[in-house]
A = this chain, B = another copy of it.
Amino acid sequence: MSYSLDQTFAALGDPTRRMIVETLSAGETRLSDLAEPFEMSQTAVSKHVRILSDAGLVEVEKRGRTRYCRLEAAPMKAANEWLSDYQKFWTNQFDNLGSFLVTKGDDE
């Protein structure tokens, strides 16, 4: 139910794996089709998918001889929420001295 932010962030810190996630956002995809666009062996892509599935970001289902992969976005929610806590630091550029506290409750 709760996957670690460690695994989620680390899994997403690789361009191949983010590409896989992007592909899967279009819908369920066969492992071999996932691997096709990459210039690396299917074994390598399979390992990436394994890391994503260990992180809870991908579900792999075996039907016949084929592995179907689909996105499981739940862990991304936690990552997104963790990041959102820092939104105040990038929306306005405060002087990074905690001065944002003063503006708490203001409307624009």
Q: Which residues of A contact B (CB under 8 A)?
A: 5-15, 18, 21, 25-28, 70-74, 76-77, 79-80, 82-87, 89-90, 96-98
Judge whether B70 and A27 touch: CB under 8 Å.
no
CA distance A11 to B9 in the complex (A): 8
A13 to chain B: which residues have CB within 8 Å? 5-13
A12 to chain B: which residues have CB within 8 Å? 5, 9, 13
> Please, could you name 28 A-B residue pairs with CB atoms under 8 Å apart, sorted by A?
A5-B12, A5-B13, A6-B13, A9-B10, A9-B12, A9-B13, A10-B10, A10-B14, A12-B13, A13-B13, A18-B82, A25-B86, A25-B89, A26-B98, A27-B98, A28-B97, A71-B86, A72-B96, A73-B89, A73-B90, A76-B83, A76-B89, A77-B87, A80-B80, A80-B83, A80-B84, A80-B87, A83-B83
